[in-house]
Amino acid sequence: AQSVAQPEDQVNVAEGNPLTVKCTYSVSGNPYLFWYVQYPNRGLQFLLKYITGDNLVKGSYGFEAEFNKSQTSFHLKKPSALVSDSALYFCAVMQYGNKLVFGAGTILRVKS
């Protein structure tokens, strides 16, 4: 079975500082990994994905994520946080031929 863990309910960071939102996964075989962001009363917006290849993937709005197979992790990062990055972030995993399974989400608060 596929599963995703986001160990932090909330991450607080000061504007301009680097941010990390953690994600670990459990899936047999090679995973497809995704990050989505959700603003209040809105659907989910795609940020980035890892399918294969380079372990460091770059996505929208300056976000990036690093796939670590040995640690089964896919942490979301940004070198310099903005107040406008404050939102709810979801990590998701997919096994080929299956559907997306989401983590419980992490609230990111960026303070000025």
Partner 1 sequence: DTGVSQNPRHKITKRGQNVTFRCDPISEHNRLYWYRQTLGQGPEFLTYFQNEAQLEKSRLLSDRFSAERPKGSFSTLEIQRTEQGDSAMYLCASSFREIDGYTFGSGTRLTVV
Which residues are at the interface with partner 1 (CB under 8 A)?
A: 4, 32, 34, 36, 41-46, 49, 51, 90, 92, 94, 96-97, 99-105
Q: Which is nearer to partner 1, 42 or 79 (by Cβ)?
A: 42
Q: How far is the CB of 19 from partner 1 (least distance, A)?
A: 20
**Nearest distance from C-beta of residue 88 to partner 1, angstroms:** 9
CA 41 to the chain's CA centroid: 19
Give exposure, 31-49, as e/b (b: 16+ Cβ within 10 Å).
bbbbbbbeeeeeebeebbb
* Phi, psi values for residue 56, rounded to 5°: -100, 120
Q: How far is the CB of 99 from partner 1 (least distance, A)?
A: 5
